[in-house]
Amino acid sequence: MIQWNSIVSSVFEEVKLTVSTGQVADYIPQLSGIDPEKYGLCLTPISGDQICAGDADEKFSVQSISKIYAVALAIALKGEDIWKRVGVEPSGNPFNSLVQLEYEKGIPRNPLINAGALVISDILLTYLKDPKQVFLNFVTALCGGDKIQINPAVAESEKLSGFKNASMAFFLKSFNNLDNEVQDVLDFYFFQCAIEMSCRELSQSFQLFAKGGIAPDGKRILTVSQTKRLNALMQTCGFYDESGDFAYRVGLPGKSGVGGGIVAVHPGQYSIAVWSPPLNKKGNSVKGMQTLELLTTRSGMSIF
């Protein structure tokens, strides 16, 4: 039996004391004011109570973590069809890179980079009457608690400054890989990135991936096979051009966001979320990675 309580608190206390070397994201102006000292952690075993520490109940901008909810919703609705328009290979490039998209003729490498997430946004826009509401309801259902909301100021801030995403969307459109208007796709993408969640909620929501596709209310959302595929995708693509390093150091499928959050999962065992805003050069939380590396090392609970 793993002594999660003592492992979580020892890792938390140790990492809290380290001086973070990263930088808070400021390319979305609304994110730049966040306190760099915020630090929270929450582990959810598949049976048993959540174990949380620090600022685990404070909501923050999940940003790219939302991409995994979007692709989960898309695959639940449309099945394997989505792979006609987006791949499942690691990109080896930054999350907002444009270069690959040109020589691969508008088919993004995977749905966890921005270009791929824009294609998923387009699929959801086409398929759903009220995609924003359905998206919020979907994430709320995975958390099994209070309604999940967006921070409209963050969505607006990104709309005003998201020139690379706009370029990417026009580029995708030029390759006929967007069915909807570019502005509508961007609007939905910025909306989904602006949802706010706490580590407790993020960790709870990833029970979906720990429990083979079952939501907190016992309803099946994904098949066992779809869950396997999404976990594989997070393992190989969840950290952009740092996915290899994350697998090497932490050894769990997961997803990061420039708000400083990381969520990871050990299928059949536990899910975990950590939040610390300063990011490394690849856009991943410095203390988040350090926390998860220590946790899997001390517990021996990585998937490898």
| Annotation says 189 is catalytic | yes
**Quick one: which segment of 82-90, 97-105, 223-231, 252-260 binds ligand DON (CB under 6 A)?**
252-260
Q: Nearest approach, Cβ of 108 to ligand DON (angstroms)?
A: 13
158 near ligand DON, judged by CB under 6 A: yes
Sole residue written with tokens 């749905």 = 111
Axis crossing angle, helix 286-299 with helix 4-17, rounded to the nearest 10: 140
**Among the listed residues 30, 64, 177, 204, the single contact to ligand DON using CB under 6 A:** 64
Question: Of 50, 114, 177, 276, which one interacts with ligand DON (CB under 6 A)?
Answer: 114
Spell 232-253 as b/e; 16+ CB within 10 A means b.
ebbbbbbbbbbbeebbebbbbb
* DSSP single-letter state for residue 33: T
Cβ of 153: how many Cβ atoms within 10 Å? 11
127 catalytic per annotation: no
22 binds ligand DON per the rule CB under 6 A: no
List the interface residues with ligand DON, window 277-296 (CB under 6 A).
283-284
Give the torsion sign (CA, 154, 159, 140, 52).
Answer: negative
Q: How far is the CB of 60 from ligand DON (least distance, A)?
A: 12
Binding-residue total with ligand DON (CB under 6 A):
13
Q: Which of 11, 250, 258, 263 is catalytic?
A: 258
Residue of 8, 20, 67, 285 marked catalytic: 67
Are 162 and 121 spatial neighbours (Cβ–Cβ below 8 Å)? no
Q: Which residues within the stretch 171-200 sit at the binding site for ligand DON (CB under 6 A)? A: 193
Interface with ligand DON, residue 101, by CB under 6 A: no
Tell which one of 39, 60, 95, 275 touches ligand DON (CB under 6 A): 95
CB-nearer residue toward ligand DON: 64 or 276: 64
Whether residue 270 lies in the annotated active site: no
Q: Does 121 help bind ligand DON (rule: CB under 6 A)?
A: no
Q: Is 258 a catalytic residue?
A: yes
- The alpha-helical segments, DSSP class H, found in 33-130 are 66-78, 99-103, 114-127
Is 56 in contact with 198 (CB distance < 8 Å)? yes
Map residue 4 onto helix, strand or coil: helix
Q: How far is CA 189 from CA 42, 116, 166, 239, 269, in A?
A: 27, 11, 11, 19, 31
* Residue closer to ligand DON (CB basis): 114 or 271: 114
Exposed e or buried b per residue across 259-294, where buried means at least 16 C-beta atoms within 10 angstroms of its C-beta:
bbbbbbbbbebbbbbbbbbbbbebbbbbbbbbbbbb
139 noted as active-site residue: no
68 binds ligand DON (CB under 6 A): no
| Interaction between residue 253 and ligand DON (CB under 6 A) | no
Specify whether the CB–CB gap between 40 and 198 falls below 8 A. yes
What Rg, from alpha-carbon coordinates, does the chain have? 18
Which residues belong to the active site? 64, 67, 189, 240, 258
Q: Which residues bind ligand DON (CB under 6 A)?
A: 63-64, 95-96, 114, 158, 165, 193, 256-258, 283-284
